[in-house]
Amino acid sequence: MLPEELIKEEQISLDDHATSKKKVLERLAVLLATEGKPPGSEQIYEKLLERERLGSTGMSHGVALPHARIQGLRHPRGAFLRLDEAIDFDALDDGPVDLVFGLLVPGDATEAHLALLAELARLFTDPHLCSRIRQARTAAEVLHLLYPHPLPDAASSHS
């Protein structure tokens, strides 16, 4: 299960117009930066780019999981883009990517980092979940799909 505070609605962009891997990483960096608190979007972008140079974080079936460790970060942070048009991301299956979950973890969070990446990879290898995310109309719907238990404002409706 994903940590409760990993991602919020304002860190989700649907039908995003990023047209290249570089633009995707730039958009993720902006979404991952928090209200003027360090690290800033430029530092985040550099760390994501640095990690991507080690090898593509493009998985398969249209999914990529760019991630980086950031010294001084206290808690993991996530952001999500659903691209309006799939792009080349050097994915394992050589297919284009349209679902991108960006992850930042504290610099010393090795075990937690790996466990969180494994959980994200498990979630995003579920074709049913990916299909539902591709059809979601709002960030709230995406959030509910990532956290399938009832959310506070959805507590009155039982799914």
H/E stretch holding 72 reads: none
Tell me the residue range of the domain where 59 lies.
9-147
Which helix or strand (DSSP H or E) is residue 122 part of?
helix 110-124
Please give the Cα distance from 145 to 151 (Å, whole number). 10
In a domain, 136, yes or no: yes
67 is annotated as an active-site residue: yes
**R_g of the chain computed on alpha carbons:** 15
In a domain, 18, yes or no: yes
Number of domains within the chain: 1
Catalytic residue from among 17, 67, 128, 144: 67
Task: Report the CATH number that the domain containing residue 23 is assigned in CATH.
Answer: 3.40.930.10
Residues 63-118 pLDDT 10s: 999 999 999 898 999 999 999 999 999 999 999 999 999 999 999 988 888 999 99
pLDDT, tens digit, 9 for 90 and up, residues 130-143: 999 999 999 999 99
